[in-house]
Amino acid sequence: MARSRKRPEDLRSARWYGGNDLRATGHHSRTLQMGYAREEFLGKPVIGIINTWSDINPCHAHFRMRADEVKRGVWQAGGFPIEMPAIALAEPFQKPSTMLYRNFLAMETEELLRSYPVDGAVLMGGCDKTTPALIMGATSMGLPFIYMPAGPMLRGNFHGEPLGSGTDRWKYWAERRAGKLSDEDWNEAVDGIARSHGHCMTMGTASTMTSAAEALGLTLPGAASIPASDANHPRMASASGRRIVEMVWEDLRPSEILTREAFDNAITVVHALSGSTNAVIHLVAMAGRAGIDLGIERFDELARNVPVLANLRPAGAYLMEDFYYAGGLRALLNEIAPLLRLECRTVNGRTLGENVAGAKIYNTDVIRTREKALAQNGGLAVLRGNLAPDGAVIKPLAAESRLLAHTGPAVVFKDYPDLLARIDDDGLKVDENSVLVLQNAGPLGAPGMPEWGQLPIPKRLLQKGVRDMVRISDARMSGTSYGTCVLHVAPEAFVGGPLALVRDGDLIELNVEARKLELKVSDEELARRRKDWQPRPAHFPRGYGALFARHIMQANKGCDFDILQHGPPTPEPEVHH
């Protein structure tokens, strides 16, 4: 049955622009002031283009142009575009972590859409936290929206070898620390690793989350894989602008798209990509905004049946540019079609199944067929045990397989400054069997749960050839990182989770197959230590940090603010004058 279409007087923006009274004419005069004629905006869907461009965000350097291309599409389809800048969340620069500000951008997005005469939105993001933040905010607001992903940058290049964002930076830095790379070569690698605009081109958090957004049905088909500097990218931007106008007339809202089944699709895709561990936190938070209680176990349940098909760094060999030429996400989705809920609706009005039908893989080394999968399952695993009663996460494919079942003595760092001060100390009692433990690096402890979870290997061991060890923390890890890193331990040390009670020399058992993380210390001894445990002082006496500390939830709850979770609808603003 055809959907009934909205009439101009039904538009939300008609509350500002409709009629001819003092209130409406005030809004008319201020829009006329910007040089628009009445026929350009009256009775048209107003499209908010949330632009996370900033001079400080290299991943979104092309967003000024892209905003114009989105506008082009909105005009063509008979809408009225208004560009709305929002905080950029620039992963390389923002401290202590962009994660501290993810919920800030989510709030900003929601309130921008709520407080202005907006009928629908195009969300422009891509650099790690921007994707979940924009989607969380727009989902809470509930207006029709399309996500326009920034697209990955081109492959890096160093001495004729492709370089991947993050992944190869950690790799060559380890070589440099081991004395195997000259300063000159290191500088050449730095020159070549980020050579165009766009987000990180490994299967890091950015590529993982934009792909998850596409699998959720929130982008136009194929959008997430297009390199930022490919001419197909601006074409996708203007097509997003055209489509959102139609979505407003159709009243196609996120509540019709973001179903439990759509989140299963997103999780399945994250596993098939061997995507970033950060996806666990973000998808839980995004689902929460859609009113879906998504437990972290769901990631483990689905992981057991999903083959890893994307041969992309850090788990594999290639980069996003190769992935695009090999057929991109549509081809991968088509290959795992039997594992997906193909009936889920997407922003273009078609189902996911219709969008991926017929998509072909052009290079089966980059996008593997199910028969030649990189691994038959296990993109991510959720661990439990007395060290992580509320769960922890590991990416087994990024680990040396010998360490996936390992018991060793803990070497404990009480916080990140302690780690930096002592990790290369010749007096540190550590060997390749040790388990490195970092405390107080979680959502409240750090604060902001930075990507410190890939603890550095002590220099002494690097020089001996050791390149991986078991590492455990309540921090996150960059999606471009690798190693046997147990992350997101919940509850975190700062709130008195068992991680806070670990001491040097305690034996810790990691068994990924059994999904186990155990501190081999008796309950009596742990109870004694708990009695002696002293909370640390709060980080922020005032401001956004204080708000964050008051409302942030733990990693297994997606680190959203409790006050931003799904609930009764927030009232629409009064529009009086």
Query: Counting contacts by CB under 6 A, is residue 133 touching ligand FES?
Result: no
Q: Which is nearer to ligand FES, 157 or 511 (CB)?
A: 157
Task: From 200-208, 445-453, 486-494, 533-541, give the range in contact with ligand FES by CB under 6 A.
Answer: 200-208
Q: Which stretch binds ligand FES (CB under 6 A): 196-204, 217-225, 330-338, 423-431?
A: 196-204
User: Tokens 């190869």 correspond to what residue?
Assistant: 168
Out of 74, 77, 106, 200, name the contact with ligand FES by CB under 6 A.
200
What is the footprint of ligand FES within residues 73-92 (CB under 6 A)? 91-92
Instruction: Kindly tell me the sign of the dihedral angle through the C-alpha atoms of 457, 463, 467, 470.
Output: negative
The token pair at 305 is 């049946």
128 makes contact with ligand FES (CB under 6 A): yes
Helix or strand or coil: residue 217? coil
The first and second tokens of residue 545, run together, are 């940090």
Q: Binding to ligand FES by residue 124, rule CB under 6 A?
A: no
Nearest residue (CB) to ligand FES, 165 versus 556:
165
Nearest to 474 by CA among 502, 501, 446: 446
Measured from the CB atom, is 206 or 436 closer to ligand FES? Answer: 206
For 438-449, b/e burial (b = at least 16 CB within 10 A) is bbbbbbbbbbbb
Q: How many Cβ atoms from other residues are within 10 Å of residue 188's Cβ?
A: 15
Residue type, 432: E
Nearer to ligand FES, 128 or 322 (CB): 128
Based on the shown chain and the rule CB under 6 A, indicate whether residue 335 belongs to the binding site for ligand FES. no
Q: Which is nearer to ligand FES, 135 or 141 (CB)?
A: 135
Q: Which is nearer to ligand FES, 59 or 154 (CB)?
A: 59
Residue with Cβ nearer ligand FES (17 or 482): 482
By CB under 6 A, is residue 199 in contact with ligand FES? yes
Smallest gap from Cβ 56 to ligand FES, in A, equals: 11
Cβ 18 to ligand FES shortest distance, Å:
41
Nearer to ligand FES, 60 or 384 (CB): 60
Helix (H) or strand (E) holding 537: none
Tell me how far, at minimum, the Cβ of 451 lies from ligand FES, in Å. Answer: 10
Q: Which is nearer to ligand FES, 123 or 303 (CB)?
A: 123
DSSP at 162? E
**Shortest reach from residue 59's CB to ligand FES, in Å:** 3
Please state the three-class secondary structure of 30-94 as a single string: HHHCCCCCHHHHCCCCEEEEEECCCCCCHHHCCHHHHHHHHHHHHHHCCCEEEEEECCCCCCCCC
Scanning residues 149 to 178, which ones bind ligand FES (CB under 6 A)? 165
Segment interacting with ligand FES, rule: CB under 6 A, options 31-39, 80-88, 197-205, 482-490: 197-205
CB burial of 305-338 (b: ≥16 within 10 Å; e: otherwise) equals ebbbbbbbbbbbebbbbbbbebbbbbbbbbbbee
Q: Which is nearer to ligand FES, 277 or 556 (CB)?
A: 277
Amino acid, single-letter form, for residue 401:
S
Report how many residues bind ligand FES under the rule CB under 6 A.
10
The residue from 14, 50, 59, 340 that contacts ligand FES (CB under 6 A) is 59
**Which residues in the 339-378 window bind ligand FES by CB under 6 A?**
none
Residues 6 or more apart whose Cβ sits within 8 Å of residue 565: 288, 289
CA–CA separation, 449 and 146 (whole Å): 29
Q: Smallest distance from the beta carbon of 519 to ligand FES, in angstroms? A: 34
Residue 75 or 324 having the CB closest to ligand FES: 324
**Position among 46, 74, 127, 486 found at the interface with ligand FES (CB under 6 A):** 127
Contact 437, 413 (CB under 8 A): yes
**223 CA to centre of own chain:** 16
Output the smallest distance, CB 165 to ligand FES, in A.
6
The least distance separating ligand FES from the CB of residue 128, rounded to whole angstroms, comes to 5
Rg, C-alpha atoms of the chain:
24
Identify which of 530, 277, 273 has the alpha carbon closest to the alpha carbon of residue 383: 277
Tokens 């964002």, located at residue: 165
Give me the residues that bind ligand FES (CB under 6 A), please: 59, 91-92, 127-128, 165, 199-200, 204, 206
